[in-house]
Chain A
Amino acid sequence: MKKLSARRRHPLAALVVLLLALACTGGLYAVFAPADKAQADETAQSLTIEEGKKLYTVGCASCHGTGGQGTSDGPSLVGVGAAAVDFQVSTGRMPAATSQAAQIPRKKNIYSQAEIDQLAAYIASLGAGPAVPTEEQYGPEGADAAKGGELFRNNCAQCHNFTGKGGALTHGKYAPDLEGVTPKHIYEAMLTGPQNMPSFPDSTLSEQNKKDVIAYLNAVNGEETESYGGLALGGIGPVAEGLFAWIFGLGALIAVAVWVAARTAKAKKS
């Protein structure tokens, strides 16, 4: 220490101290700076995309092409966004069993959410598209079900029926029943327009509107929906009602008539 203190008035001492301080700060900066963190995240992200690409190559590439460019069996996935992937894969529609069917049906999902996220990340990396919505976007807070009902009748009921029970489209295609579809999937479907459905981007149907529609569906076609008048008979309108009136209404009345006619004063004769 004596040597050091002896030279403390050396003309270059200040410079040495400055360099040390800079080295320290720089070093600390190098250790703690966000630049480092960004570096690390990007590695994780590229790892996710890498994993997603592997999954894609196994499950999707045969129809959508090795780079998501599309083939005669499946459309291009460039720019469809993570929301489309999340919807299609987690409702089990993708991977499809065949591209020849009139419509790809909903079926059991075989991927974990982590795998779906990886696939989504890979597809999102191909081109910008809608991201997977967050719970704030599709959750029930601040939603107006009545407004949603109006929007639903105006935009959705033509195909999905008054309360989303589904309906027929041309040549065996159909608008599916929306009962039991999660709010997230409904949001994604509106955002991306899967299969025959038109898409409703935020410029057409704002985030708030989407939230309202989801709240309406939850009110009229959800698990807690009450059927005020008794059995809802599928909620598909007069065809089911007519069938019920004929079979259980008139059927029961004719059975009663047969019963009454069989009980007659004739019995006294024997």
Chain B
Amino acid sequence: MSTTTSTDSRARGKAPAGERVADWADGRLGIYSLAKANMRKIFPDHWSFMLGEICLYSFIIIILTGVYLTLFFHPSMNEVEYHGSYVPLQGQLMSEAYKSTLDISFDVRGGLLIRQIHHWAALIFVAGMFVHMMRVFFTGAFRKPREINWLFGFLLLVLGMFTGFTGYSLPDDLLSGTGIRFMEGAILSVPIVGTYLSFFLFGGEFPGDDFVARFFSIHVLLLPGIMLGLVVAHLILVFYHKHTQFPGPGKTNKNVVGMPLLPVYMAKAGGFFFLVFGVIAAVAAIATVNPIWAIGPYRPDMVSTGAQPDWYMGFSEGLVRVMPGWEINFWGHTLVLGVFIPLMIFPLVLVAIAVYPFIESWVTGDKREHHILDRPRNAPTRTAFGVAWMTLYFVLLIGGGNDIWATHFHLSINAITWFVRIAFFVAPVVAFVVTKRICLGLQRRDKEKVLHGRESGIIKRLPHGEFIEVHEPLSQEQLYTLTAHEQPKPLELGPEVDENGVRRKVKASEKLRAKLSKGFYGEESQIPKPTVEEYKEITSGHGHH
């Protein structure tokens, strides 16, 4: 280390090799101060804080396996005749992309396993991002100063979806070709420019000879490149902001209680990487994913039932499947509302959750930093909104898989479609109301627990014959955890007239804000937490209950 003086080293003889390497590196990279500042960086311990790690590691696994796949994949749409190992396709005409994917599956050593790891990891990666985002959402971890990191995360999710979609399209099998045809249809539905966009993307009429090569560049270079940059930025911001923590004794907005990065988290995180890799590899070895040999090569005149995209695009499939096939014809032009409206709602579904943090901060007017997480029940309106959004998402997923639901639950596909059409509007509202009531109920239970203690399940009979249940008082730590959250007052519009008796002009946006603020913090939206006086009054007199 650079602090070692030359006299010391002479007295002790030559420094150990490791120390000399570190010294060499420090002299050139200045890593000592960097390491000193970060080696003892503290991270709090909670399983839900590892969801992001699952995403990071599955992303790394996808890159590693993806590199292997590029060694054997030919992103070309040249037509070739198949004479490989898979008998039921012998002599069939197919694109080189499809043939090379068959070869990866049957003739490249370890190819099928790597392909399946790649695909399963992709499905799990996006699912992990989804759950990670929901964790951040429901605990309020997106609040200042982390709004930008929330947006980075959201962009990663969207890019992950599209990287997945372009990857799913590369093998040029009948399923993925149908997916691209679906996408082409959506592009064509855009008024005026739709046809031009489609011709630009496919280099002419669909399917043309270009899209596999183009999607390949997008899939292996453009999108993962942006994602890699965003992941780095995301992690840098996590370091810079420090990690949030759940409320509890000793945890404040100004500290982080946990374990140091080195050695504890390095060991844990490093080990967790291999666990994630192991689980994904096991899944890939157990179950097949996207068996393109059974699906067959793409030909625009063929289609199969059960043609769905991978799950993360399922909600867009649902939007199109349940939308009535409206269209308007005028002056020889057709406006395909049945596809164009879903195409417009598709980004709105995603944006709705992305902009929520900004709406919340505008409504609450809260400009302070927050490093202590909310328990979801203590933010009933936010929790209810999140559940409503997830309900909408799930309803659309049902719509996207309506044929599979129909065959496997012996239902009518028309009934499912109508259910989704109605539930699209009704279910989120119901979910919102129910979730909010549940949150308030849980708040009441917390209050009850603080004031009367935990139900012990022991029934005591008093001398005069009365039966009572013994309640055990909570520990000081538990009491703190249950009452640490703050309960802001809703915004007031202020008096309608100023001190001179002149009517003040109240902007419509201000009125809306006051109304929404009431929705967040009004009497209907939070149960007043027990005060010190209440607590003292109840705990001083024994045999109260």
Decide if A and B are genuine partners. yes
Q: A residues engaging B (CB < 8 A)?
A: 102, 145-147, 149-150, 153-154, 157-163, 165-172, 174-175, 216, 219-220, 227-233, 235-246, 248-250, 252-254, 256-258, 260-262, 264-266
Q: Is the interface of B mostly helix, strand, loop or mixed?
A: helix
Distance from A157 Cβ to chain B, minimum over Cβ atoms (Å): 4
Q: How far is the CA of A170 from the CA of B128 in the complex (A)?
A: 35
Is the C-beta of B293 less than 8 angstroms from some C-beta in chain A?
yes
Distance from A185 Cβ to chain B, minimum over Cβ atoms (Å): 20
Evaluate contact between B414 and A229: CB separation under 8 angstroms: no
Q: How far is the CA of A260 from the CA of B301 in the complex (A)?
A: 51
Q: How far is the CA of A162 from the CA of B173 in the complex (A)?
A: 11
CB contacts (< 8 Å) of A245 on chain B: these are: 120, 123-124, 127, 283, 311
Q: How far is the CA of A48 from the CA of B135 in the complex (A)?
A: 73
Among listed B82-90, B330-338, B354-362, interface-contacting one = B82-90
Residue with the greatest number of chain B CB neighbours at <10 A, chosen from A159, A160, A242, A266 = A242
Count of CB-CB pairs between chains A and B under 8 Å: 215
Among listed B20-28, B142-150, B404-412, B485-493, interface-contacting one = B404-412
A257 interface neighbour in B120, B272, B285, Cβ under 8 Å: B272
Are A149 and B123 CB-contacts (below 8 A) given A167-B403, A253-B276, A261-B46? no
B288 interface neighbour in A166, A231, A239, Cβ under 8 Å: A231
CB-CB contacts of B260-294 with A at 8 A, as 1s and 0s?
00001000100110011001101111111111011
Evaluate contact between B294 and A235: CB separation under 8 angstroms: yes
Evaluate contact between B259 and A145: CB separation under 8 angstroms: no
Please list 9 pairs of residues, one from A and one from B, whose beta carbons are closer than 8 Å in the complex, sorted by A's number.
A153-B299, A158-B303, A175-B305, A229-B289, A230-B116, A233-B287, A239-B400, A253-B279, A260-B271
Distance from B380 Cβ to chain A, minimum over Cβ atoms (Å): 25
Q: How far is the CA of A138 from the CA of B92 in the complex (A)?
A: 22
Q: How far is the CA of A170 from the CA of B268 in the complex (A)?
A: 53
Distance from A244 Cβ to chain B, minimum over Cβ atoms (Å): 6
Q: How far is the CA of A231 from the CA of B106 in the complex (A)?
A: 17
CB contacts (< 8 Å) of A250 on chain B: these are: 54, 124, 127-128, 131
Q: How far is the CA of A235 from the CA of B293 in the complex (A)?
A: 12
Evaluate contact between B54 and A253: CB separation under 8 angstroms: yes
Is the C-beta of B204 less than 8 angstroms from some C-beta in chain A?
no
Are A230 and B51 CB-contacts (below 8 A) given A149-B88, A154-B301, A237-B308? no
Evaluate contact between A162 and B51: CB separation under 8 angstroms: no
CB contacts (< 8 Å) of A240 on chain B: these are: 404
Evaluate contact between B310 and A238: CB separation under 8 angstroms: yes
Evaluate contact between A233 and B288: CB separation under 8 angstroms: yes
Are A157 and B302 CB-contacts (below 8 A) given A229-B291, A261-B50? yes
Q: How far is the CA of A229 from the CA of B54 in the complex (A)?
A: 24
Are A168 and B116 CB-contacts (below 8 A) given A162-B296, A242-B314, A250-B131? no
Distance from A226 Cβ to chain B, minimum over Cβ atoms (Å): 10
A157 interface neighbour in B46, B120, B305, B411, Cβ under 8 Å: B305
Q: How far is the CA of A151 from the CA of B307 in the complex (A)?
A: 18
Q: A256-B275, A260-B275 are in contact. List 17 more A-B contacts (CB 8 A).
A: A146-B88, A149-B92, A153-B296, A157-B305, A228-B291, A229-B116, A233-B288, A238-B310, A239-B308, A241-B289, A245-B283, A245-B311, A254-B54, A256-B279, A257-B51, A261-B47, A264-B259
Evaluate contact between B124 and A229: CB separation under 8 angstroms: no
Chain A residue nearest to B415 (CB atoms) is A172
Evaluate contact between A239 and B413: CB separation under 8 angstroms: no
Evaluate contact between A237 and B47: CB separation under 8 angstroms: no
Is the C-beta of B349 less than 8 angstroms from some C-beta in chain A?
no
Evaluate contact between B91 and A257: CB separation under 8 angstroms: no
Evaluate contact between B88 and A220: CB separation under 8 angstroms: yes
Q: How far is the CA of A169 from the CA of B305 in the complex (A)?
A: 9
Is the C-beta of B401 less than 8 angstroms from some C-beta in chain A?
yes
CB contacts (< 8 Å) of A239 on chain B: these are: 306, 308, 311, 314, 400-401, 404
Evaluate contact between A249 and B406: CB separation under 8 angstroms: no
Evaluate contact between B280 and A249: CB separation under 8 angstroms: yes
CB contacts (< 8 Å) of A102 on chain B: these are: 412
Is the C-beta of B174 less than 8 angstroms from some C-beta in chain A?
yes
Evaluate contact between A171 and B414: CB separation under 8 angstroms: yes
Is the C-beta of B295 less than 8 angstroms from some C-beta in chain A?
yes
A167 interface neighbour in B48, B105, B123, B306, Cβ under 8 Å: B306
Distance from B161 Cβ to chain A, minimum over Cβ atoms (Å): 13
Is the C-beta of B112 less than 8 angstroms from some C-beta in chain A?
yes
Evaluate contact between A228 and B302: CB separation under 8 angstroms: no
Evaluate contact between B174 and A162: CB separation under 8 angstroms: yes
Closest 6 CB pairs of A and B: A242-B311, A229-B288, A167-B305, A245-B123, A168-B406, A168-B403
Q: How far is the CA of A167 from the CA of B54 in the complex (A)?
A: 35
Evaluate contact between A229 and B287: CB separation under 8 angstroms: yes
CB-CB contacts of B16-51 with A at 8 A, as 1s and 0s?
000000000000000000000000000001111111
Q: Which of B95-111 contact A (CB under 8 A)?
A: 105-106
CB contacts (< 8 Å) of B293 on chain A: these are: 228
Distance from B428 Cβ to chain A, minimum over Cβ atoms (Å): 21
Are A265 and B264 CB-contacts (below 8 A) given A153-B296, A168-B403? yes
Q: How far is the CA of A216 from the CA of B304 in the complex (A)?
A: 16
Residue with the greatest number of chain B CB neighbours at <10 A, chosen from A175, A235, A238 = A238
Distance from A150 Cβ to chain B, minimum over Cβ atoms (Å): 6
Distance from B35 Cβ to chain A, minimum over Cβ atoms (Å): 20
